[in-house]
Chains A and B, each alone.
Chain A
Amino acid sequence: MTVQSPSTTTHSEIVSTSEDVSKIVRAAGDQRTSVCIVGGATSLDYGLLREIPGFRVVTTGLSRVLDYAARDMTITVEAGLPLQTLTEVLLEQNQWLPLDVPHPERATLGGIVACDWSGAFESGYGTIRDMVIGISAIDGRGIRFSAGGRVVKNVAGYDFCKLLTGSLGTLGIVTQLTLKVQPLPSTRLLCAVGIEHLDQAEMCLEQMVQTLQQPAVLEILSGTRWTNREWMPVEYRGAPHAIVIGLCGSLQDVEGQQRSISGHLDTVGLKSREIIGSLESSALRDLAGGSAGADGEMVLMISVRPSKVVDVLKAFENDGVLASSSRPSIQVHAASGCLFAVYDTSPADAGWLVHTVHPFVRQMNGWAHIVSGGPPDRTLASVWGPSPEAIRVMESVKRAFDPSGILNPGKFLYRSM
């Protein structure tokens, strides 16, 4: 069935129950038109197309905390709850969800799950995929379904928590989530390591493999837009790159880890400096926002094996394969191999992406896609690159959840959906 855009109007509704969502989806199905999902409107241009006319479901009315079992370290919330509100609720019980995403005061949990946002803390705490233990959603037929549960260990049924994470709302509109939370670490410490050239970055990362514990945060920051931040230690300001290491735990754990890291860095001639005092929170805020672009900017996400991140960074340099007239500032989650390259302006056309970026990244067995912005003539190939091996199965799954193809049509990498 072809989804139509009968007019340029969009019928927008702020929903407050899952029944509201279901009604809208059924109406859209009856009228053969689209449903676009909006949470906090922080990632609307993630994917191929911006919103097209039809129905718009705004989930910010689904914002209740339904059940908080602090002693069980689980919390069940409606999907429209902003991350910052959740953070405040958890803080009262000395707990947290180790996520940092752009615009946490607006970014909803449902949107975070749909986009698979995680942030700098994924080095030590994993990604949002590891934190969702229960999910409820409305599928493309308007049917409400649930999977997982409210207990941290559960293998009954298919794991739709994992399947829906990162699906960009194309399988279902998430209405409720149960999350596994963590005790708030008593001590958090950020350090910076000044890097003059990228070979030093690789030396630093190799040493981190041998330290006592995986650091909670391990970021490479490339470009003076990063190294000139006011929280960067003075001696590293203006350097081409810097590494930020975050440690969390008890005071003894953090001190022990810090000594271990200093020892390892010494062996390769590098030094770390603490990012001190109240500036720490602005540093974390900046790191959280690093994957978001402002209007007109393009954010390109590249994912490679961690041992390849420095090779990718080198490719952005003056004579590298990915060099362009507009040099991006880059934030790298070094432990997972995810890079976010933020360009001041989008390229004029998609050709560079299709013919240079994607082939280069693929030959490193990695993947690239546009997170926001991008050339005006965005296509599936330019935004998402070549189709993954399992595309046929993915499309079959999409048809199972959304037979009429009305949920966020054209947004994801399915061919002709």
Chain B
Amino acid sequence: MIATLSRPLLDALTATVGANGLLWDRGDMMAYECDGYVIEKHCPDIVVFPTTTQQVSDVVRIACAFDIPIVARGAGTGLAGGTLPVGGGMLIVLTKMTAIEEVHLRDRYAVVQAGVVNIKLNERLKGTGYHYAPDPSSQGACTIGGNTATNSGGPHTLKYGVTVNHVLGVEVVFSDGSIVRTGGPSRTPGLNLTGAIVGSEGTLAIVTRVWVRLTRLPQAVRTMLIEYGSVDEACRTIGEIIGAGIIPAALELMDQGIVRALEAAFSFGFPLDAAALLLVEVDGIEDGINQQMERVVELATECKATGVRHARDSAERQKLWKCRKLTGAAIGRLAPNYTTQDGVVPRSALPHILQYIANLSARSGIEIVNVAHAGDGNIHPNLLFDEREPDQIERVIRVGQEILEECLACGGSVSGEHGIGVEKISLMDRMFSADDLDVMRRFRNAVNPDGRLGAGKMLPTLAGCGITQSHPRRRGGL
């Protein structure tokens, strides 16, 4: 916490970003007291909106001079509290850095400022035959800088990979204010710092500019929604599809709870007794696409699918995807509050983890509805609660932890795409050994030696410092 916002500090920042580039009134800053992880809230001491990399550098140098911790933030759509200004400090928000600076189709890359909204890049690329492949569900709001910080995924990662597979280079500002570029459109010598900065959740550097790979749009796409009488049969289909050597562009699972929520909200016409839906999309060359699709349907039928809806045209495809992308909105009708977990298991362990979640829900009294990027084994259980009931909050946190511990027991991970943030710090020593975490700390200290960036994120603090890291409890709020 900054003891006082001194006049010299405010003057220095105003001189750098202008009066319109600052917020320091508590009421004005309330929108920045949490991100998509709403269970925990902390108000920053000051919020700064730079518009250029040089301004970011200058602001960081000012923060150094006044010894202020920094958290970088994009659109604040993160779901693990990665942009939570724990203990206050300065929030550097990059949403005003929105230029798509270069597009090179021949070399298949673009250069964007960190605050470019994900979907805006694809709007810009419309008609070129190319796209930027990572498409997190929040792509209408999230920024490419934020995607880079968390190594975002989305539904199409099964075939196209995650953000790190599409970032060729970054320009960053380090904790001393220095501006450095790593990587780029051609292979650069030396250590792959780009690959290590992607997914580092703002704890190594502030990403200000990104060189992104552009990918050819497929010539043909076939999308279908498959209905099942049981989750197990849906999961078996997933295994059979992959076992047949087919890599769908997307393979999304929704359980009965989600189906009912979607029907209540949007009346898509889904059977309410469907235990699970699989949204399957295959893409590629027109010549071979129907054979792929037919094989998927054949396998689904063998696994006792009860119905298949094919998207006959682009409009119907959009509608099928709408039902997947609106799950968040639909869930919002089920309870006053919900939190979305993010865990990964080996694909073959999906039936087990989904049954485990069902049992846990029954035992704990916390209703859980599930979506999953099933092809990757990346589950998103949504835990419903009422934040006015403190007991429910405690149970939600405990149940969330148990789900992730079971993911680890299956040989998986505590995060597939949302990141560690503050939410999952307490689980890092379950996933990694003390030596693993020590080497990670050494690496972070080598790059961010004063610990100014992203303090309290991603890695547990050492117990020897006398600080115990427990799961964040809800503080603040109304």
Using a CB–CB cutoff of 8 Å, the interface residues on chain A facing chain B are 69-74, 94, 116, 126, 129-130, 139, 143-147, 149-163, 165-167, 171, 182-184, 186, 206, 209-210, 212-214, 249-253, 255-257, 260, 303-307, 335-338, 365-367, 369, 384-385, 388-391, 393-394, 396-401, 412-413
| B377 partner residues in chain A, CB cutoff 8 A | 72, 151-153
CB contacts (< 8 Å) of B284 on chain A: these are 213, 249, 253
On whether A256 and B288 interact (CB within 8 A), knowing A153-B153, A163-B192, the answer reads: yes
> Are A165 and B288 in contact, CB atoms less than 8 angstroms apart?
no
User: B435 an interface residue at 8 Å Cβ cutoff?
Assistant: yes
Evaluate contact between B196 and A143: CB separation under 8 angstroms: no
A280 to chain B, nearest CB (A): 20
Bound complex: CA A400 to CA B196 (Å): 14
Contact, CB under 8 Å: A366 / B245? no
Task: Tell me, in angstroms, the Cα distance from A126 to B346 when the chains sit together.
Answer: 23
**A-B contact sample (19 more), CB < 8 A, given A151-B344, A153-B162, A250-B291:** A69-B346, A149-B413, A153-B157, A153-B344, A156-B428, A158-B440, A159-B198, A159-B199, A163-B443, A206-B106, A212-B219, A249-B288, A250-B288, A305-B104, A305-B107, A367-B186, A390-B182, A394-B190, A397-B193
Cβ–Cβ contact B411 & A150, under 8 A: yes
Task: Please tell me if the beta carbons of B285 and A390 are within 8 angstroms of each other in the complex.
Answer: no
- Please give, as numbers and ranges, the residues of chain B lying within 8 Å of A70 by CB-CB distance: 243
Instruction: Give 19 pairs: A residue, B residue, CB < 8 Å, sorted on A.
Output: A72-B242, A126-B161, A147-B432, A149-B412, A154-B416, A155-B150, A155-B417, A157-B428, A163-B191, A186-B245, A252-B285, A253-B285, A253-B288, A255-B287, A365-B185, A367-B188, A394-B191, A401-B442, A413-B189
Instruction: Determine whether the beta carbon of A393 is less than 8 Å from that of B174.
Output: yes
> A184's closest neighbor in chain B, by CB?
B245
A252 to B294, CA, bound (A): 14
Given contacts A129-B195, A397-B191, A399-B446, contact A144 B435 (CB under 8 A): yes
Are A139's CB and B107's CB within 8 A?
Answer: no
Asked whether B216 lies within 8 Å of A71 as measured between CB atoms, the reply is no
Q: B395 contacts the other chain (Cβ, under 8 Å)?
A: no
Kindly list chain B residues whose C-beta atoms are within 8 Å of the C-beta of A157: 420, 428, 431-432, 436, 440, 458-459
Q: Which of B191, B412, B428 has a CB less than 8 Å from the CB of A166? A: B191
Q: Is the CB of A151 within 8 A of B413?
A: yes
Q: Which residues of A contact B449 (CB under 8 A)?
A: 396
Set B161, B187, B291, B376: member contacting A338, Cβ < 8 A: B187
Complex CA gap A303/B219 in Å reads: 30
> Which of A72, A149, A165, A206 meets B192, CB within 8 Å?
A165
Q: Which residues of A contact B435 (CB under 8 A)?
A: 143-145
Residues of chain A within 8 A (CB-CB) of B291 are: 250, 252
Complex Cα–Cα for A84 and B114 (A): 42
Q: Are B105 and A209 in contact (CB under 8 A)?
A: yes
**Does any Cβ of A come within 8 Å of B10's Cβ?**
no
Residue among A143, A158, A183, A250 with the highest chain B CB neighbour number at 10 A:
A158
With A367-B186, A397-B447 as contacts: A151 and B411 at CB distance below 8 Å:
yes
Cross-interface CB contact of B412 among A151, A155, A212, cutoff 8 Å: A151
Residue B461, interface by CB 8 Å: no
Which chain A positions have C-beta within 8 A of B327? none
B433 interface residue, CB < 8 Å from A? yes
Q: Which residues of B contact A209 (CB under 8 A)?
A: 105-106, 108
Q: Which residues of B contact A367 (CB under 8 A)?
A: 186-189
Could you say which residues of chain B place their CB within 8 Å of the CB of A162? 164, 192, 194-196, 198
Q: Does the CB pair A307–B106 fall under 8 Å?
A: yes
Given contact pairs A71-B348, A150-B346, A389-B180, A156 touches B414 in the complex (Cβ within 8 A): yes
A70, closest chain B residue (CB): B243
Give every chain A residue within 8 A of B415 (Cβ-Cβ).
Answer: 154-156
**How far apart are the CA atoms of A396 and B346 in the complex, in Å?**
36
Q: Nearest B residue to A335 by beta-carbon distance? A: B108
* Shortest Cβ-Cβ A-B pairs, 9 listed: A162-B195, A256-B287, A183-B245, A252-B288, A400-B446, A253-B288, A303-B187, A154-B413, A145-B439
Give B111 Cβ to nearest chain A Cβ, in Å: 12
Nearest CB in chain B to that of A145: its residue = B439
Tell me how far the C-beta of B419 lies from the nearest C-beta in chain A, rounded to whole angstroms: 6
Say if the beta carbon of B310 comes within 8 Å of chain A: no
B191 touches which of A150, A167, A184 (Cβ 8 Å): A167
Complex: how many Å from CA A214 to CA B217?
10
CA distance A160 to B415 in the complex (A): 16
Q: With A71-B242, A152-B377, A153-B373 in contact, do A369 and B151 touch (Cβ < 8 Å)?
A: no
Q: A151-B345, A156-B413 are in contact. Are A388 and B164 (CB under 8 A)?
A: no
Beyond A71-B239, A151-B413, A400-B445, whether A304 also contacts B186 by CB under 8 A is yes
Within 8 A of A (CB), among B138-172: 150-151, 153, 157, 161-162, 164-165
Q: Is B378 an interface residue (CB 8 A)?
A: yes
What residues on B are CB-neighbors of A384 within 8 Å?
189
Q: How far is the CB of A417 from chain B (nearest CB, A)?
A: 12
A397 and B285 contact, CB distance less than 8 A: no
> Which residue of the partner chain, among A146, A151, A155, A182, contacts B432 with CB atoms under 8 Å?
A146
Residues in B whose Cβ lies below 8 Å from that of A150: 346, 411
Q: How far is the CA of A161 from the CA of B181 in the complex (A)?
A: 20
CA distance A171 to B129 in the complex (A): 41
Chain B minimum-CB-distance residue to A366: B186
Measured in the bound complex, the distance between the Cα atoms of B436 and A183 in whole Å is 32
